[in-house]
């Protein structure tokens, strides 16, 4: 069940009125080498984001399973991408990011993990002219879209996704949703401040302030075919998912995911369960755990 400390936030988001506008992040590209290294290290797979990474992996795999060529928009240091590549070694992944330092860190990370099914492109996710039309079986993006400066940029990104997807291609996009209350933003941004660098918490706060509204994502569903649906965490729309229907996956993969959950520290298992609960209450089915 959700922690009691979260209940005031739930009340604010369900019954409150919106009290602050979107605040785009001051810099779209993270290029400082030390900043990138600190960001990547704080968010690696065994850190405070481990529950979120495993949740996203458990939802992405049934969306993209069996597809050969997947594009990851705004891949950052490739922590999420590398976990997916480990679970799906027969799938070829291409990560794209606008930051040279992020791409450099990502390449080092996948090389360290000896992954042979991942490559990278330096580029703008709103301008994918370097990629041919209908050249990917699927497109994913995890926690990157809020970096776009404006709603128009988000729209352009979605149009580019549609262009590079093959007919019948699959889609999984997830990002923060903008909350009603600044108090809620601060609660989530700093709830793990004892376990992570201050720079990571500050980046989290800025990301939440820069998030798009769930309603803005819903408006853009029309760019895609009718089989893409939107989900957000119940009551507190801090996370939004846009996805095509799930595909049946082998039982061995499900067992592998469950084993990874068992390896998580109790604190992070509880966080994973919170995310599952809030998406389940909003109608997202096929929970593999």
Check which CATH number belongs to the domain holding 259 and give it. Answer: 3.40.50.150
Q: Is residue 115 part of a domain?
A: yes
> Mean pLDDT over residues 223-244, rounded?
94
pLDDT > 90 in the chain, percent: 76
Out of 8-12, 105-109, 234-238, which region has the weakest mean confidence (pLDDT)? Answer: 8-12
**Does residue 1 register a pLDDT over 50?**
no
pLDDT > 70 in the chain, percent: 91
If one counts every other C-beta atom within 10 angstroms of the C-beta of residue 19, the result is 12
Please provide the average confidence, as pLDDT, over all residues in the chain: 91
Out of 74-78, 139-143, 192-196, 253-257, which region has the weakest mean confidence (pLDDT)? Answer: 192-196
pLDDT digits (tens, 9 = 90+) for 50-60: 999 999 999 99
Q: Is residue 271 part of a domain?
A: yes
Backbone angles phi, psi at 276, to 5 degrees: -60, -45
The strand order across the sheet containing 239-243 reads 118-122, 92-97, 69-73, 136-142, 165-176, 239-243, 229-232
pLDDT digits (tens, 9 = 90+) for 29-72: 556 565 555 555 655 656 678 999 999 999 999 999 999 999 99
DSSP helix/strand/coil, 36:
helix
Q: Which residue, 270, 247, 104, is CA-closest to 170?
A: 247
Residue 151: which domain range? 4-281
* pLDDT value of position 17: 87
* pLDDT value of position 35: 58
Number of structural domains in the chain:
1
Q: Is residue 287 part of a domain?
A: no
Q: Is residue 289 part of a domain?
A: no
């Amino acid at each position: 069940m959700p922690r009691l400390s979260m209940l005031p936030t739930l009340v604010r988001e369900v019954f409150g009125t919106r009290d602050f506008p979107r605040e785009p992040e001051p810099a779209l590209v993270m290029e400082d080498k030390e900043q990138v290294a600190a960001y990547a290290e704080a968010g690696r797979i065994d850190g405070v984001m481990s529950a979120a990474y495993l949740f996203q992996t458990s939802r992405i795999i049934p969306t993209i399973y069996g597809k050969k060529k997947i594009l990851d928009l705004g891949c950052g240091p490739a922590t999420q991408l590398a976990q997916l590549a480990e679970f799906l070694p027969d799938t070829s992944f291409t990560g794209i990011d606008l930051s040279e330092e992020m791409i450099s860190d990502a390449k080092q990370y996948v090389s360290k993990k000896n992954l042979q099914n991942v490559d990278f492109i330096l580029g703008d996710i709103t301008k994918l002219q370097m990629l041919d039309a209908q050249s990917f079986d699927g497109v994913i993006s995890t926690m990157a879209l809020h970096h776009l400066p404006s709603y128009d940029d988000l729209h352009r990104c979605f149009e580019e996704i549609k262009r590079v997807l093959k007919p019948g291609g699959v889609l999984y996009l997830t990002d923060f949703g903008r909350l009603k209350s600044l108090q809620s933003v601060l609660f989530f941004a700093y709830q793990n401040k004892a376990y992570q660098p201050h720079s990571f918490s500050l980046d989290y706060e800025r990301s939440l302030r820069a998030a798009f509204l769930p309603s803005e994502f819903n408006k853009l569903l029309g760019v895609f075919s009718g089989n893409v649906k939107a989900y957000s965490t119940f009551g507190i729309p801090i996370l939004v998912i846009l996805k095509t229907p799930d595909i049946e996956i082998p039982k061995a993969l499900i067992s592998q995911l469950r084993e990874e959950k068992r390896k998580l520290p109790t604190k992070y298992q509880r966080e994973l369960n919170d995310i599952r609960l809030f998406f389940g209450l909003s109608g997202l089915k096929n929970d593999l755990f």
